[in-house]
Homo-oligomer: A and B are copies of this chain.
Amino acid sequence: MTVVTGGPRPQEDHSPRERTREEDVATSQDDGHPGSHYNRIRQSIVSGQAGPGTVLIPTVLSTQYNVSRTPVREALIRLEQDGLVERATRGYVVRTRTPEEILEICEARIALESSAAQAAAIRRTELDLARLVHVHESTAATKDPAELRELNHLWHVALREAGHNTTIAELMDRLDAQLKVYDSHTAPATDLPDNLSLILEEHAGILDAVRRRDAGAARDRMIAHQSRTRDLRIGALARSGRAAH
């Protein structure tokens, strides 16, 4: 189990609390609004910087960020509710998921995303469609893997917007974050060129169904698309799991 509590610490600083403005700016891109620590810690988890099993201790984080435990605790409570961290005897731990749990998350995603596709076919506006086409074409014109992953994500976000169901969109955001934690393991498989062209084909198919307002086809194609992605993900996870043994 990794027992890192974050990036490199600025310096050992045991003074009670110096509200030096310079230091604040230096150690953080804190915009100052309440709850910003939540986003910061969340980002470090989702980005994989603080991978599964990483121990997060309020005291340590608070000295790192040069704030008191109170706002850090608030952030960790929210992250716990998000399913990204869980309570340990001491502090919190970035949640470790078994392949079975990853499969469960994928199953929930398929249910919600196919429902969103169905809704998009029914409720999409012309603007929604134009946005979707735009992102799709940008994706087709890109070669950089990181940018492709981002555009792929944006396409799905645009589709959920076209579905006009914020409840589903929010739940998907949460599930996306839970899976993103494992991207470092699964990315190699999903970044393969032949997968990328398959993704584009599948997106095009769904897009076409949404254009034609064919809700059933949109749903079925999304199920197929997400199921294939799931299998790829699980396969990569199984391989990296075996490799870790």
Separation of A165 and B110 alpha carbons in the complex (Å):
13
Q: Chain B residues with Cβ under 8 A from A238's Cβ? A: none
Separation of A104 and B165 alpha carbons in the complex (Å):
6
Near B by CB (< 8 A), chain A positions 70-108 give 70, 73-74, 77-78, 81-83, 101, 104-105, 107-108
- Digitize A111-123: 1 where CB-to-B-CB distance is under 8 Å, 0 elsewhere: 1101100010000
User: Is A168 among interface residues, defined by CB-CB distance under 8 A?
Assistant: yes
Does B171 contact A171, Cβ atoms closer than 8 Å? yes
User: Is A167 among interface residues, defined by CB-CB distance under 8 A?
Assistant: yes
Partner of A168, one of B74, B83, B104, B119: B104
Separation of A119 and B106 alpha carbons in the complex (Å):
13
User: Is A166 among interface residues, defined by CB-CB distance under 8 A?
Assistant: yes
* Most chain B CB within a 10 A radius of its CB, from A111, A112, A119, A166: A111
Separation of A188 and B81 alpha carbons in the complex (Å):
33
Does B104 contact A110, Cβ atoms closer than 8 Å? no
* Most chain B CB within a 10 A radius of its CB, from A78, A81, A108, A168: A108
A71 vs chain B, min Cβ distance (A): 11
Does B166 contact A104, Cβ atoms closer than 8 Å? yes
A33 vs chain B, min Cβ distance (A): 12
Separation of A101 and B115 alpha carbons in the complex (Å):
16
Does B107 contact A167, Cβ atoms closer than 8 Å? yes
Separation of A29 and B203 alpha carbons in the complex (Å):
54
Separation of A208 and B76 alpha carbons in the complex (Å):
44
Near B by CB (< 8 A), chain A positions 183-208 give none
Separation of A70 and B70 alpha carbons in the complex (Å):
9
A172 vs chain B, min Cβ distance (A): 10
Separation of A119 and B100 alpha carbons in the complex (Å):
14
Partner of A107, one of B104, B107, B165: B165
Separation of A82 and B83 alpha carbons in the complex (Å):
11
Kindly report which residue of chain B lies nearest to residue A116, judged by CB atoms.
Answer: B111
Q: Chain B residues with Cβ under 8 A from A70's Cβ? A: 70
Does B165 contact A108, Cβ atoms closer than 8 Å? yes
Partner of A111, one of B78, B105, B168: B168
